[in-house]
Amino acid sequence: MPGDSGAGAGSVRGYLLHRAKPHLPPWLAVGATGLAGALGNWRWGDSAAAGVGLTLASVALTGATWWAGKSTSQQRRLHSAITVAAGSAWITAACLAGPTAGPLDDLYLMGGPVVALSWNVRMILRHNADPSGENSDKGLLEKVGLARAQIREARVEPNRVTAPVALAPGEQTNDDVSKALGRIASALDLPTSAVRYHPEPDSNRRGDLVIVPEDMLAEVVEWEGPSNLGGSIAEPLVIGRYDDGAPLVVWLPGDPDAGRNSTHVLVAGGTGSGKGDTALNLLTEVLSRRDVIVWFSDPKAFQDFAPLRPGLDWAAEGGTQTEVMVAAVQEVIPARTRWLGEHGYRQWVPQAAQQQTSAEHTCRADGRACGCAGMPFLVTWFEEAANTLRALGDDAFTGIAQEARSAGISLIVSLQRPSYDQMSTSTRASLPSVIALGCDPRDEGFCLPDEVLAAGAHPGAWGNRRPGYCYVVSPGIAEDRYPSPGRTRRFTHRAVPVMELLATWAQRNGATADPVTAGAAAGVAGTAYTGRTTPDAPQQPARLRAVSEEDDMQHGGPLVDPEDAHIDPEADLPDALDGDDAPIFAPEPGHKPSPEEARELFARALQEFEENGQMIVGPKDFMDWCDRHNLSRPWVSARLKEAALDGRLEPTNTTGRWRIVPTLTAA
């Protein structure tokens, strides 16, 4: 229809006009120049003075253009100055001689369109330039003080841009980029943690600038269950996710094929940073594996960990219980290392946890398979460990940490306030892995290595406002991941029944301590170490279990002396209190025991402490006992020292505190 076509033609014309509009000004300027030349000739054609004035004006205008173009690019400045010089020279000539005189009209007809077109071309090129191309990058780098750096072709993935940066040789270093990260984030209007820099290891002027614009960790993810129930502890432990959705994993045992040692982990974060839930992420993963046992010390009386407690091989509630556990760890290290060595393992591998049926891993001199029980990996965990570490001393802890790694043991240590006044530099250095949650900005240097901070990691920016956000530095993780934030999963009341089920699973299907570990632990801790029990079996002191298992293993059945064969091992022992010794335990008031009686009483008191699992004692534990038996504390102190000389007690790191050596090993 005519109307339609009219409208169509109108809209096409409108469109073209709209597109052409930005390119019209140079042409209008050419027209205006021609007109100015014609009018000027009509007015000043015969005036010599006007000739001088016009020439000076033309030179001044060109100079002013050059000066005004100082802040633009060199190219634009030159283009503008040439245009103005050509235009003003033509106008001057046209005014004085006439626009059609000599070659002036041809110059106008040819030169005018050329100049106008050159500006059009320039504009078109600018519009078509890739906004992520070098120009705009240069703008960004210039803004942040890295003017002569270059950005090469960027790799764009969903929510992640990786741009290789080449810095000006001899002028800029990778450090300059690290220092500029905050300004880059500001220029891009992003949080600091969204911009990171990974320097190339073999160059100090090249690296990758990584920008993760959207915080994909903002969404809270709840824990729903372990990632790999029944798997090996050597497989990755999944504790959350990275900001690009990749799983956040750690490995505790080493892997000889990958040249990786086993590691110890520091869980560091300020109050409210989500440390408790992070520990639950890790502990649930560990407990869901088939070849690991866990010794766990928690001075907060298992407030957060209660549902998992039945799955632990040993649980200590801080104080002396933890002291005994630490002493036991010291004792099991050489025993386990020896066992691993005897069985041809240079470090713990999953195969070590199985019964030893291969001739390659035998402790028998004749080279035949030995059939020894396997040795599960051991995770020893110290929650809120500052006091324990202080009591233990730096040298002792560093020694334990160093030797534990070849004994198939990982230490996990959590700190309430991650800072140097909680843990010394050398102790910190013995923990190669860290899960660094939000903290005070002043403590960042304590939590993370300098290179990771320089690459953009910034846990101090989170404080306690981003619970569960963390950086993980640990062997096995690609180093360029270290500065990428991750987030652990949250535990709510919905997780409790799942954790209880998991603990029951661990009781029934998880590993139990091997005879070597249980024997060494019971040798230090006596009845304080029971080993994990199953839900349906009564608790049996691990010491007994270890001994009987060892005997069974070596002799193919329980070892019983022929004269004891009639004794029922399950029957109760006769109660000592009912025997002839009764008066000793019920002293007459005011009766002062003879020196011999007193020594016997003291020996019995130690025995009682041992039976009750209280393995660390000092004079203050004997206060009531002294009153009851009319004996003095100095007398007790002297007896304690004597007992240490006899080998019944061992000194601890605290003056006046002694560790009872269980009678089984003292004998």
Ligand X SMILES: Nc1ncnc2c1ncn2[C@@H]1O[C@H](COP(=O)(O)OP(=O)(O)OP(=O)(O)O)[C@@H](O)[C@H]1O
Point out which residues bind ligand X (CB under 6 A).
Answer: 220, 269, 271-277, 416, 467-468, 487-490
Q: Is the CB of 136 or the CB of 303 nearer to ligand X?
A: 303
Count other Cβ atoms within 10 Å, centred on residue 519: 22
* Encoded amino acid at 33, one letter: T
- Least distance CB 490 / ligand X (angstroms): 4
164 Cα distance to chain centroid: 25
For the chain, what's the residue count? 667
Q: How far is the CB of 493 from ligand X (least distance, A)?
A: 10
Least Å from the CB of residue 435 to ligand X? 11
Q: What is the DSSP letter of 99?
A: T
Minimum CB distance to ligand X smaller for 277 or for 610: 277
Name which of 280 and 542 has its Cβ closer to ligand X: 280
d(Cα 135, Cα 123) in Å, to the nearest integer? 15
Question: Annotation-wise, does 271 bind a ligand?
Answer: yes
Q: Are strands 237-242 and 486-488 parallel, antiparallel or unpaired?
A: antiparallel
Shortest reach from residue 416's CB to ligand X, in Å:
6
Q: How far apart are CA 291 and CA 373, in angstroms?
A: 12
Minimum separation from the CB atom of position 228 to ligand X (A): 20
Q: Is 186 annotated as a binding residue?
A: no
In the bound state with ligand X, the residue whose beta carbon lies nearer, of 333 and 472, is 472
Instruction: Using the minimum distance from each CB to ligand X, give the nearer residue, 6 or 441.
Output: 441
Strand residues in 251-370 grouped as ranges (E): 265-268, 292-297, 314-316
Q: Is 270 marked within a binding site?
A: yes
- 3-state percent breakdown (helix, strand, coil) of the chain, nearest 5: 50, 15, 35
Shortest gap between Cβ of 220 and ligand X (angstroms)?
A: 4
Residue 492 or 663: which CB sits closer to ligand X? Answer: 492
3-state secondary structure of 348: coil
Q: Which is nearer to ligand X, 277 or 291 (CB)?
A: 277
Helices 495-509, 275-287: crossing angle, 10 deg rounding: 30
Q: How far is the CB of 269 from ligand X (least distance, A)?
A: 5
Q: Cα separation of 334 and 330, whole Å? A: 8
- CB distance 93 to 104 below 8 Å: yes
Helix 515-525 crosses helix 319-342 at what angle (to 10 degrees)? Answer: 150
For ligand X, the closer CB: 142 or 222? 222
Instruction: Output 85 or 216, the one with its CB closest to ligand X.
Output: 216
Per the rule left: phi > 0, alpha: psi between -120 and 50, beta: everything else, 470 is beta
The three-state secondary structure class of 292 is strand
Cβ distance to ligand X smaller for residue 69 or 463: 463
Query: What is each CA distance from 120 to 28, 113, 124, in whole angstroms?
Result: 12, 10, 6
Cβ 219 to ligand X shortest distance, Å:
9
Let me know: does 432 contact 263? Beta carbons within 8 Å.
yes
Q: Do residues 614 and 528 touch, judged by C-beta distance below 8 A?
A: yes
Q: Which is nearer to ligand X, 416 or 533 (CB)?
A: 416
Which residues 6+ apart lie within 8 Å of 13 measured at CB? Answer: none
HSE-up (13 A, CA, CB side) for residue 512:
18
Which DSSP symbol is given to 252?
A: -
Name the residue among 139, 148, 200 with its Cα closest to residue 174.
200
Smallest separation (angstroms) from ligand X to the CB of 431: 18
Q: Is 275 annotated as a binding residue?
A: yes
Nearer to ligand X, 280 or 286 (CB): 280
The two tokens of residue 184 are: 């880059």
Give least dist CB 276 to ligand X, A.
3
The pair phi, psi for residue 608, each rounded to 5°, is: -65, -45
CB of 287 to ligand X, least distance (A): 18
- Which residue, 327 or 434, is less far from ligand X as judged by CB? 434
Measured from each CB, the residue nearest to ligand X is 468
- 604 with 584: CB under 8 angstroms? yes
- Whole-angstrom distance, CA of residue 597 vs CA of residue 600: 5
Nearest-approach distance from CB 438 to ligand X, in angstroms: 8
Distance, in Å, from the CA atom of 275 to the CA atom of 490, rounded to the nearest integer, reads 10
Q: In angstroms, rounded to a whole number, what is the distance separating the alpha carbons of residues 437 and 440? A: 10
Binding site annotation covers 274? Answer: yes
| Chain-centre distance for alpha carbon 507 | 30
Question: Least distance to ligand X from the beta carbon of 299, Å?
Answer: 12
Beta bridge pairs of residue 210:
162, 196
* Nearest one of 117, 160, 166 to 137, comparing CA atoms: 166
The rounded distance, in Å, linking the Cα atoms of 365 and 375 is: 20
Cβ–Cβ contacts within 10 Å for residue 440, how many? Answer: 17
Q: In terms of CB distance, is 215 or 394 closer to ligand X? A: 215
Least CB distance to ligand X at residue 280 (A): 8
Longest dimension (CA), the chain: 147
Evaluated on CA atoms 401, 404, 406, 410, the torsion sign reads negative
**How far is Cα 624 from Cα 631, in angstroms, rounded to an integer?**
10
Binding site, residues? 269-276
Please give the annotated binding residues for ATP, written as ranges.
Answer: 269-276
